[in-house]
Every structure is written in C-alpha cells, then in structure tokens.
Amino acid sequence: MAGFWTLMPSRLLFVVGLLLLDTTSSFVSAAGSSVHHNPLTGEAMNFFGTRSPPKNATVNKYLPKPSNDSWYKPPGGWETAKPGAVLRTRAHAYPTINIRNAIDTFQVLYRTTDSRNNASWSVATVFIPKSHENCTLPTTSPAYNASACSHGIVAYEVPSDSADPDAAPSYLLQMREPYGEMRDMLARGWFVMVPDYEGPGASFCAGVQAGHATLDASRAVLSIAGQFGLQMDKVKLGLWGYSGGAFAAEFAAELAASYAPDLRIDASVIGGSSPNLTTVDERMNSKDTAGLVVTSILGITVQQPEARAFLLRQLHPTGPYNATGFMNATTMTGADALDAYSGQNVFDYFVNGQADWANPAMQDVINTDAVMGLHGVPNMPSFYYKAEHDEMSPVNETAAIVEKFCSQGANILFHRNTLGGHNDELWSGRLRALEYLSAKLNGYGNITIPETGCQTVDVTIPLDPLYLLPDWWWTEGPGAGLGLAGAG
C-alpha cells in the first residue's frame, strides 16, 4: 500500500471506490486505535499531533504549550470555588484557527474535582460556528438573524490518549482537528466545547476525573456562553466521544445524576466504548497499539501515589526495556507513543512481567477508576454505537453495560454494526451520531429513536470515509495535491 497515494487522481478514485465497497479487505480488520490510523489502509498515522513551526509567524500564530502558558495557572484561592466555577476566561483564544466552519474560539479555566474527590482545575476550549457570526450584535441590528444563532452546544471529547500535559486538546487543536467531526458539527450551527478532561496531570484513562471534568466544563461554559451569543433560553447540551473520547463521555453520563444534578444534558453519544481497561490493554499489547498501554498505565496512576510508587519500583532499572524508556511516554503525544512502543510487549518493562500489572496495587486502581457501569445510570437519552468485530474491546462488554442501564430505567438506542472493526466504526458511525444529536438538539434527525426505554438494533453500515475525511487529509495528508479538498 506504500505506493497507493502516488496513483493519478482518476485512478486513485477508482481504487478507493473498490476498497470502500470491499468491507472484507485487510484494512478493515487492522488492529489499532482509531485515533491514529488511516481508515483506508489501517496504517498508523499522526492524526493528532503538531505541525512544523509556521513559516509566516505574522500570519500563523499559536498559543504556547500549557507548561509555558501562565494563563493555565489558576488564581489564588481557586480550591474554595464550587465545581464548575469559572476561574479565568480567554476570549478570541486561538490566534490562528485551522478548523473549517469555526469563526472564533474562547477558553475557560474552571474548577473541577479529580478521581480522588480532591479539588482540581482544567480548561475547556469552545469553537463558535461561522453561522453564528452576527449573533453578538444588538437584536435591533439589520445584520442580526435570530434563526442563525446557535442554541446547541456539544461537549466533544477528543481522544488525546496521552500522559503528557502538553498534549492537551486545548493546545493541539490549534494545529488541526483529527477527524473532521468538529467541522461537521460546526456546519450544523452548534457550539463545540472540548474539555481537557484528563486534567492538569494528564490522567489518561482516569474515568472519574474525565467525567467530572466534562460535567464541570459544561457548567462553566454554559455560565458564560450567553456573552458569546448562545441562545440560553433555548440551549440544549449534548455529549459525544469515540474510543478514548467515549471514555470521558460515558463516565460523564454515568456521573451526571449524582455529581451534577443541576446540569441538564439532552443527549449523550458513546461510540466504540471500552468498558474495562484491563480487557483493552490485554488486546492492545504487543501490537501497533502497545504505546496506548504504556500511556494508560501512566495516566491511571497520576492521581494514585501508591500505585505510581509500586509502578516505579517494578520497572527494570536497566536493560532494553527499562524505567527511563517507559517514563519517556510522559512527554509524548498519543501518536508519538504509538510510534515509540509499536509491537512491544509492555509487560517486559516490569520485573515480574504481567504479574506486576495484575498485582492488586495496579488492578484496584483500574477497577475503581477505569471500569464502566459502576458509577450511576445515564439520566439523559443516549446513543451507543459499536462494531460487532471491534478488536480493541468486545462488543458484548458494551452490550452488558447497556443492558444493565436499561434494567434501571435508562433511555438508550444501541447500534451494533455487523461490518468492520474499531477503526472503521469511527467513520461509519459519524452520520448516525450526528443525526442523533440533531434529533435531540434541534428536534429533527434521520434516525429512529425510542421515546422511552431501550432498543438494540443490528445495522449493516459499510466503511465509506472519503467525504468524511478531515480537511487536512487533502492539504497535508495522503490526499495532498489530488484536488479533492471539497470532498472533505
């Protein structure tokens, strides 16, 4: 497949068409995280990383990394603020916006709560759609058009998959978005709010942290969004995440009733969920996804001093798989970690191999903070979608969670796609996810939803990502120079 993208455009489109129709091709079942894989070949790609420094610094400017940005430091006394309280705002946050259909951004630094119920803080970045551009004008202005003003806002969980605080979405989204989902939501006229749900320590896979941070980001943003023209008298809020992003959205849905009973959430959309981190890590190990096993182990122990101390004691001090090599992941993006640890048996870094990972010192933390279905029942209408042949997390684990929630009164539509695997469903499920959100935020959508109770539906949706691919795919990715930017 190395020479695939060197074909002439007309021939390339013909070949792409054949591949998309053939759902049994090898790329469909390629193992790996959808976050960083080419949907056409299954090969690892840097979907969500940094660009080279801009050549024209007067035109392309970027915020500094969080570790070098004083705006990220919370003000004195922040610990006493209520969860969801706004600590600091930054209007027109991004000097350069590289996401189509966004006209402006603002950021909020807010108080939240970590997995151990300690005071914490995080950042949310909000993207304003172009259709909303005249909505901060006085209502008497001739340019003001109420019908174009946004009332929908989606808390969109980007799967950052990193244990590096400088790889937070609030920083990396300046360069580009990974998939085109934000572009498509903005095109529908919704505000798109992206929380740094891993918190200031990059607690990747800490589910309670992620849920709290998402709920508090929603509280904080909604408390000030009226200043940016959001129609607060009509506002509707949705959650959406896939894969690592589903981890945050699902925990937020579970925790909403107990942690944020004041917050009305109109919909949650959970795609490619991973109900049990232990199962996922076992499946990702020794493959091209091994780097995510490393970042998950580091992330889940950020807030757990006893588990982190155990981890450090059990890493080999020397040898080819040593502590230094393992801890290097704390300064890597998810894409970098995938590249650095690809194919490795991560348990080779431990003195006692997999037995150390299975030790209660580690497993107790995972079972407390990285297993779904233990923290409450979603109190909002929800859409779950997953591929039958998901190679990262068994579909039956998600089915069991859905069944448990439904037995406790939840309202859930669950789509099981009979085609493709984890990577494919990221793309195959997008239009259904958008239609579900549209139904709940706008009152109309091309999808059948149970008004009450639950419904599980087997669907057969082929992989067809060509027109869903992000804009950067056609400008700096594999499609560069093919003249197909309009397809994005």
Kindly state whether residues 139 and 257 are assigned to the same domain. yes
Residue that wins the pLDDT comparison between 350 and 2: 350
pLDDT at 214: 98
Kindly state whether residues 90 and 215 are assigned to the same domain. yes
Residue 334 inside a domain? The answer is yes
- Among 2-11, 25-34, 329-338, 427-436, whose mean pLDDT is lowest? 2-11
Q: Return the percentage of the chain with pLDDT > 90, whole number.
A: 81
Neighbours of 119 (CB within 10 A): 14
Q: Give the model confidence (pLDDT) of 100-149 as tens digits.
A: 999 999 999 999 999 999 999 999 999 999 999 999 999 899 999 999 99
Q: Give the model confidence (pLDDT) of 317-328 as tens digits.
A: 999 999 999 999
Read off the tokens for 470: 């992000």
Q: Which of 422, 424, 428, 471 is catalytic?
A: 422
Which of 369, 397, 432 terminates a domain? The answer is 369
DSSP states of 111-129: EEE-TTS-EEEEEEEEEEE
Edge to edge, the sheet with strand 191-195 lists 86-91, 102-113, 119-129, 191-195, 152-157, 236-242, 267-271, 382-387, 412-417, 454-459
Kindly state whether residues 409 and 435 are assigned to the same domain. yes
pLDDT tier at 35, thresholds 50, 70, 90: low
CA–chain centroid gap for 359, Å, is 29
Q: Give the model confidence (pLDDT) of 225-235 as tens digits.
A: 999 999 999 99
pLDDT tier at 369, thresholds 50, 70, 90: very high
| Amino acid of residue 221 | V
Are the beta carbons of 164 and 332 closer than 8 angstroms?
yes
Q: Is the pLDDT of residue 170 over 90?
A: yes
Q: Is 464 in the active site?
A: no
Residue 8 inside a domain? The answer is no
| 215: CATH | 3.40.50.1820
Residue 80 inside a domain? The answer is yes
d(CA 371, CA 208): 10
Which of 316, 342, 369 terminates a domain? The answer is 369
Q: Is the pLDDT of residue 443 over 90?
A: yes
Mean pLDDT across 382-409: 97
- Among 56-60, 84-88, 251-255, 348-352, whose mean pLDDT is lowest? 56-60
pLDDT tier at 45, thresholds 50, 70, 90: confident
pLDDT tier at 55, thresholds 50, 70, 90: low
Residue 482 inside a domain? The answer is no
Kindly state whether residues 127 and 213 are assigned to the same domain. yes
Q: Which of 184, 336, 390, 424 is catalytic?
A: 390
pLDDT at 475: 83
pLDDT tier at 3, thresholds 50, 70, 90: very low
Q: Is the pLDDT of residue 165 over 60?
A: yes
Q: Is 243 in the active site?
A: yes
- Total tally of structural domains belonging to the chain: 2
Q: What is the pTM of this model?
A: 0.91
Q: Is 160 in the active site?
A: no
| Amino acid of residue 187 | A
Kindly state whether residues 252 and 284 are assigned to the same domain. no
Kindly state whether residues 249 and 301 are assigned to the same domain. no
Residue 2 inside a domain? The answer is no
Which of 369, 392, 421 terminates a domain? The answer is 369
Kindly state whether residues 242 and 298 are assigned to the same domain. no
Residue 21 inside a domain? The answer is no
pLDDT tier at 474, thresholds 50, 70, 90: confident
Kindly state whether residues 359 and 443 are assigned to the same domain. no
| 293: CATH | 1.10.260.130
Residue 88 inside a domain? The answer is yes
Kindly state whether residues 282 and 270 are assigned to the same domain. no
Kindly state whether residues 79 and 175 are assigned to the same domain. yes
Q: Is the pLDDT of residue 304 over 80?
A: yes
Q: Which of 150, 162, 243, 274 is catalytic?
A: 243
SS3 145: coil
Q: Give the model confidence (pLDDT) of 449-470 as tens digits.
A: 999 999 999 999 998 888 899 8
Kindly state whether residues 390 and 426 are assigned to the same domain. yes
Q: Which domain holds residue 171?
A: 66-275+372-475
Residue 118 inside a domain? The answer is yes
